[in-house]
Amino acid sequence: MRIFVVLFIVLPFQLSAQDKTKISLDVAIETAKQSSREQRIAEHTYSLSYWTYQRYKAGLNPRVAISGTLPNYYRTINPITLPNGASDFVSQNIASSSLNLSATQSVAITGGTLSVGTSLYRIDNFGSYKNTAYTSVPFTISYSQQNIFFNPIKWDKKVESLKISEAESKKIESIEEIAIKTTELYCDLLQAETRLRLDLQNEKNIIDLLRALEARLEIGTSQLSEVLQSKVSLINAQKSISNSKLDLKVAKHAFLRFLDLPLASNIELALPDSVPFYTVDPEVALQESRQNKYFSHNFQRRELELKKELLKTKAETAPVVSIMANLGLTQTGQRAGDAYQNLLNNQSVSMGFFLPIMDWGANKASRKRIQAAMEVEKELISQQSLTAEKEVVYACARWESIVEQIRLAKLANVVANETYEIARQKYSTGNYTFSNFNFAQLEKDRAALEYLATMRNYWITKYQIRYLTLYDFEMRRKLKVL
C-alpha cells in the first residue's frame, strides 16, 4: 500500500512537469502518513520503544553463557605465607586456565536471581616444583537476593508493559497529528488557490466593466468618476493578485515539503463537495479517550513508578536483609578425570542485614519526599485529565453543529454569486452605484472563502476527534498501530 501511494503521487511529477496531477485530501493524507518526515520520526520513535521492550522481555528469559581464561600466565615474585606462619618472597611461574558454563534466571515471584553452572579450572606450575592440578565443579546451583523485602522484577514488569502501551498510543497519535497537519496545509493551499482564482476573475470582470463604462462615457451615459473608480478598483485587484500569488507560493512550498514531494510538482487540489457525516456520542468519545490515549497509559505508568519508588525507599530505609545460598559438587586431581571422581559437597549460605539506628530523620525525609511527589503527580494527572476531557467535549460539540454550518455556508455562497451577477449587470448598464457593486463583489468573495473555511473546519474536526479518542467513529473501531 505504501509503495502504491508513493508511486501514485510521485511518478506523475517525474513523467511530466507540465501536466497537473490531481490530489484529493484523502490521497494527500495517505501520502503524508506513508512518506513524510513526520511519519519517519514517529516510526523510528516507536521502533526505539519497541526494541527496548523486546530487550527487556528477553532479559526475563534464562541467559546461558560460556566464559573462560585460556590461559592466564604470569612469572613474578610474590609474598606468600609459609606453613610456620612466616612470610617470604617466592618466585612463581604459573599458567592457569578455566572454563565455565552457566545459566541465569531472574525469579519474578521473589525478585532474586537463580543460576546453575559447571566449571573446570587447571593450574600449571613451571617453577622448581613442577606440577599440574585440576579442580572441577560439575554442578552448582545458587540463589541470591539483595533485599528480600523488595521485589523490583514484579514492579518492572508492570511498568515496562505500560511503556510499550504508551509507545503504541503515541505512534497512533503521531499519525493522526500528521492527518490534521496535512489537512491544514491542504486547506491553506486550497484557500490560496481560491483567493487567486477569485482575484483573477475579479480583475477580468472589472476590465470588462471598465470597457463598458468607457464606451458609455463616450456617448455620455456614464460619468468620469465611475470610470476612475473602476480604474482604482482594477489597480486594487492587480495588487490583490500579486499578494495572492505570493501566498500561493508559500502555501504550496509548505504543502509539498510536508509531504516530501518535489518542489517542481504541478498539482491540482480538489476538496470534496459531499462529506460523510456520522454520529459521535460524547460519552463514547470520553470513554475511548480514557482507554486509548497516550496520556491514559502515561498516567498509569507515572503512578506505578511512584508507588514502586515509595516501596523501594521504605525497603531501603527499613531493616535490609540479603541472602545468598549455593549448593553443588566439587573435587580436585592431578588429571582432569580425577577431578570428577569421588565428588565432595560444595555449599555455602550467607545472610546479611543492615539496620539503621540513627540517621537524624534522613530515612523519614526520603519517604515523605516520595509521598509528596505522589500527591503532586496525582494533582497534575487530575488537571491533565480534565483538560483532555474538555478538548473531547468541545470537539464533539463542534461536530454536532458542522452539518448545519456547511448547509448555510453553501447556501450563502450560491446566493452571494447570484447577487454579484445581478449587481455586475446592473452596474455595467448604469443602474447600480459603484459602492453597491463593490459590496456585492466583496460579499461574493467572502462567501466563497467562508464556505471553504467551513469545509476546512469539518475535516480538521473529523481528524481531531480521531486524534483525541484514537477511535474511528465512521468505521466504529479502535485505531491500531500499523
- State the pLDDT at residue 202: 81
Q: State how far the Cα of 273 lies from the Cα of 267, in Å rounded to an integer.
A: 19
For residues 134 and 97, is the Cβ–Cβ distance under 8 A? no
Q: What integer pLDDT is reported at residue 120 of this predicted model?
A: 93
The sign one gets for the Cα dihedral 163, 168, 169, 175 is positive
Q: Tell me the CATH number of domain 2-15+26-55+156-302+375-478, given options 2.40.340.10, 3.60.110.10, 2.30.40.10, 1.20.1600.10.
A: 1.20.1600.10
pLDDT of residue 174: 93
Give the least confident one: 341-350, 361-370, 421-430. 421-430
Residues shown for the chain: 482
Burial tier of 200 (Cβ tally within 10 Å: 0-12, 13-18, 19+): middle
What's the pLDDT at 3? 40
Buried-exposed string 214-242: b where 16+ CB fall within 10 A, e elsewhere: eebeeeeebeeebbebbeebbeebeebbe
- Strand 320-333 with 131-145, pairing: antiparallel
Convert the pLDDT of each residue in 338-363 to its tens digit: 888 888 888 899 999 888 887 788 87
Percentage of residues of the chain with pLDDT beyond 90: 40
Lowest mean pLDDT among 13-27, 120-134, 442-456: 13-27
Angle between helices 2-15 and 25-35 (to 10 degrees): 110
The pLDDT of residue 310 is above 50:
yes
- Measured between its terminal Cα atoms, the distance across the chain in Å is 12
Q: Is the pLDDT of residue 67 over 90?
A: yes
Q: Residues 253, 1: contact at Cβ < 8 Å? A: no
Predicted local confidence at residue 89, as pLDDT = 83
Residue 468: its pLDDT value, please?
Answer: 93
So what's the pLDDT on residue 19? 67
Mean pLDDT of 238-248: 92
Instruction: Report which of residues 433 and 453 the model is more confident about.
Output: 453
122 contacts 98 by C-beta, under 8 angstroms = yes
At 204-232, the pLDDT tens digits run 888 877 777 777 767 766 677 777 877 88
Percent of the chain with pLDDT over 70: 93
**Interatomic CA distance for residues 123 and 96, integer angstroms:** 4
How confident is residue 45, by pLDDT bands cut at 50, 70 and 90? very high
Q: Alpha-carbon torsion 355, 356, 362, 368, what sign?
A: positive
Is a pLDDT exceeding 80 seen at residue 1? Answer: no
Grid coordinates given for 373: 511527589
Ranges of each domain in the chain: 2-15+26-55+156-302+375-478, 64-107+111-147+321-355
User: What is the overall mean pLDDT for the chain?
Assistant: 86
Averaged pLDDT, 276-299 = 90
Question: What residues pair up with 384 in beta bridges, in sequence order?
Answer: none
DSSP state of 336: T
Q: DSSP strand E in 298-428: where?
A: 320-333, 344-354
